[in-house]
Copies of this chain bind each other. A is one copy, B any other.
Amino acid sequence: MAGHQVIIGSRSLDRAVEAAKVIAQTAGRPVRVSGLSNENAVSQADVIVITVPFAALVETLRTVKTKLRPGQVLVNVSVPLETAVGGRATRTIGVWSGSAGELAASVVPNTVGVVTAFNNVSAELLKDLSKTVDCDVLVCSDNENAKKIVLDLVKAIGGARGFDAGSLENSRTVEQITALLVSLNIRYKAKSTGLRITGISPVS
């Protein structure tokens, strides 16, 4: 909706193309969205956003690893929810690297800028184009340029505000907030709990 060219990647080309069609229909006006295999999507993208369940994170990154190019930005949205091992979405599992973001960074070449972002934004909220996104986006990375690119992308989402949440290791907290929001969703019978940071304003 912000005018960016979007490529949906999937293990299955058919499902990628189908997902792109659904998005184009939801948009209700011409948008630049297409579907490709994960490998081809990664080859063509400047910014790669990975949103697979945590159990599939490392394997998915391994299948596209050889297609990654220096200077690309990899945004990890995946959170180590306990569901990855059959548990609850209100809990996380321990990750040796510290977080899913740091685990992702350990798999891809260090010429790729790995960023943690969007983990706390409800998909329900993003899908409903009639609503502004009443949620801030905490952005963590050890690559300042990659962080800036993602903070700029956040500005295109009406209502959302991006905050520089520091180095990639801070993903540990940002990812766990997702489990807390899931637990609030359940307890308060909601679908799209989010969070706002108070006391500061994003640097424009």
Binding site for B on A (CB under 8 A): 90-91, 122, 125, 134-135, 138, 163-166, 169-170, 172-174, 176-177, 179-181, 183-185, 187-188, 190-201, 203
Q: A183-B166, A183-B170 are in contact. Are A190 and B195 (CB under 8 A)?
A: no
Q: Could you say which residues of chain B place their CB within 8 Å of the CB of A180?
A: 138, 165-166, 170, 173-174
Please pick, from B125, B194, B200, the residue contacting A193 in the complex, using a CB distance under 8 A. Answer: B200
- Bound-state CA distance A170–B201 (Å) is 28
A109–B91 Cα gap in the complex (Å)?
Answer: 26
Q: Are B184 and A163 in contact (CB under 8 A)?
A: yes
CB within 8 Å for A200 and B188 given contacts A165-B183, A183-B170: yes
Residues in chain B near residue A138, CB distance under 8 A: 180
Question: Cβ of B187 and Cβ of A166 under 8 Å apart?
Answer: yes
Total copies of this chain within the assembly: 2
Tell me the nearest residue of chain B to A174, going by C-beta: B180
Q: A194 contacts B199, CB within 8 Å?
A: yes
Q: Is the beta-carbon distance between B184 and A193 smaller than 8 angstroms? A: no
Contact of A199 among B91, B164, B190, B199 (CB under 8 A): B190
Q: Which 4 A-B pairs have the closest CB atoms?
A: A196-B196, A188-B200, A193-B199, A194-B198
With A170-B183, A184-B163, A187-B166 as contacts: A135 and B176 at CB distance below 8 Å: no
Q: Considering the chains assembled together, what is the distance between the CA atoms of A91 and B192 in angstroms?
A: 28
Let me know if B200 and A190 touch, CB within 8 A: yes
